Amino acid sequence: MTESGINNHLAPWIQTQLHTLLGQRGHAWLLQGPSGLGQYALALALARTWLCERASPHGACGECGSCHAIDVRTHADLCMLMPETTMMEMGWPLSEKAQGEIDDKKRKPSKEIRVDAMRDAVEFAQRTSARGRGKVVLVFPAENMNTVTANALLKTLEEPAGDVRFVLASESAHQLLPTIRSRCIGHTMVWPSTEEGAQWLQTQGMDAGRAQFLLRATGGRPADALLFAESGRDPMAWAAFPRAMAHGDVTVLKDWTAAQIIDAQHKLCHDLMAKFCGAPPRFFESKDLGTLHVTMPVLSKWSKALSNAMKTMDHPFNAGLMAEALVGQAQSALNSGH
């Protein structure tokens, strides 16, 4: 694959940011912004380029042994620091110890970045580069470090050993320790235009109408729009969502996870707040909001309840009962003015 070929896999706005960041010097970067803007893609493109044997100012070559080793997830100079659940979803191998514990059912894959993995990363940073082009530690999502793990990373960021670079990618950078943020070169992800996002989604096989529809549903975040399309959910259920919540209709939520329900309800709550203040809705069409009129105190109370629900949505509750509870809460809020 040619250099232009490998870079064509990156969205145009990611490619532009890659070129900019490659011109900067430092040993630690923090890529920050809301979900769906490509933090992980940009972080991996940076790591790939730093380690590439024939890199250019525009990115990695895509053909050398280093690029191939990253493609097959075996690069000796790249340390991926992620929750185990994320590693498994993305096809990155776990350590032998972690994989053994999970295979033996001694524990479930962690949704946090474990301190054991961080200790392995610290040891990795102190080793000599295997390919002679330095080493890279990629942390994603960086906000999934607990306090102990974050403090272990902080010490390494303060006193990096040898030729090692760090790239942290985060969708909630405010949750990181201020001391970690201050030791990184901060980069706020560029928000693509609607046209750029729609064109990129069409290159991923989505028709123009659905691309525009899902971009609106996800607040203009192309990667989130693609995830929506790949989730198995019926996009047309989005337009029906506000009225379904007002009527307490759970059937529209077939194949929706608790996280997806809460996200959609938060967006509905946001748009109703905007409507109350005379502003246009962001996630739903005005016609889909229909005649829903809810007071700001009720919407504020509902928003806080949804934020609390997010804290427990990954607990092993009965999914059906949780969906019913969330819909019942929404129905109560949306009919409070009747």
Per-residue pLDDT of the chain (338 residues; tens, 9 = 90+): 333 334 447 899 999 999 999 999 989 999 999 999 999 999 999 999 999 999 998 899 999 999 999 999 999 999 999 999 999 999 999 999 999 999 999 999 999 999 999 999 988 988 889 998 999 999 999 999 988 999 989 888 887 777 899 999 999 999 999 999 999 999 999 999 999 999 999 999 999 999 999 999 999 999 999 999 988 888 888 999 999 999 999 998 888 888 899 999 999 999 999 999 999 999 999 999 988 888 999 999 999 999 998 887 776 567 778 889 999 999 999 997 65
Question: Distance (Å, rounded) from C-alpha 103 to C-alpha 291?
Answer: 53
Half-sphere CA count of 249, side-chain side, radius 13 A: 11
Question: How, if at all, do strands 164-170 and 78-81 pair?
Answer: unpaired
Q: What is the domain partition of the chain in residue ranges? A: 3-188, 231-334
Distance of CA 109 to the CA centre of its chain: 18
- What does the pLDDT read at residue 98? 92
CA nearest to 189, candidates 41, 4, 5, 27: 41
What was the pLDDT predicted at 1?
32
Residue with tokens 């379904």: 244
Per-residue model confidence as pLDDT tens digits over 27-69: 999 999 999 999 999 999 999 999 999 999 889 999 999 999 9
Beta bridge partners of 32: 170, 188
Neighbouring CB atoms inside 10 A of 239's CB total: 15
Q: Which positions ≥6 away from 12 have C-beta within 8 Å?
A: 192, 196, 200
pLDDT of amino acid 3:
35
* Domain 3-188 part of CATH 3.40.50.300: yes
